[in-house]
Amino acid sequence: MERDVAQLERELSMKAVFEPMFIHPADGNEGVLGVGIFSRYPIMSHTVEFAHGVKEPLQHHVPGMPDILPNPIVISDIEKDRVIYRIATVHFTWAANGGSNEIQYVNIEKLFNALNPHKDFVLTGDFNAPRGGEIFAELVSRYKDNVPAKYTTSIDGNIHRAGQLPYMVDGIFSTPGYSVSNVEMLSGVSDHCALVAEISRN
């Protein structure tokens, strides 16, 4: 939530770039929900593309209606030891029951078109497209999937309101200019597990 960004920056000793997605009811504590990148290293520049929708006006979240919500892609150039790392993140279009829908097929092409000019990058996020499904297959046709096969779900059943679900929907993808190694999944941080990895430039 946008209201949490400043606190997270302070407690994590990081700076953030944040892009709103929509207004979420948040169990009676309504606010702006979005995607962001936090970094301890300097964020030299950032840009926002859209896999779907537009920046404004912000819409209210309506369960089961993914076609009205935007999907911003936050892309940041982060400098560490005089090397620039391009990191992108997205919360992709939702589909019911771990399946796929027509708007996902449209939006995955929009995502590819938006990212193509940025060449090499690491792409992270909640893709709402389980590994083994058709939308996930589109992603791995373009980018390398770096999450080990031993992980079969990224949903933390102890926190997620629906309990444990058999969906590996979160990912760390990369283009040939990057190597991603030592990928681990950690639970207990959110309703989705955290993916932790080492990234290097090729």
Mind listing the pLDDT tens digit for each residue in 79-125? 999 999 999 999 999 999 999 999 999 999 999 999 999 999 999 99
- The mean pLDDT value for 14-39 works out to 95
Domains of the chain: 41-201 (3.60.10.10)
Q: What mean pLDDT is predicted for residues 129-158?
A: 97
Give mean pLDDT, residues 142-153: 97
Residue 163's pLDDT is 94
Task: Output the pLDDT for position 66.
Answer: 77
State the chain's mean pLDDT as an integer.
95
DSSP class of residue 60?
B
With 80 as the cut, is the pLDDT of residue 55 above it? yes
Sorting pLDDT into bands at 50, 70 and 90, what band is 1?
very high
123-160 burial: b if 16+ Cβ within 10 Å, else e: bbbbbbbbbebebbebbeeebbbbbeeeeebbbbeeee
- Please give the residue that has the higher pLDDT: either 202 or 56: 202
| pLDDT confidence of residue 78 | 98
pLDDT value, residue 3: 97
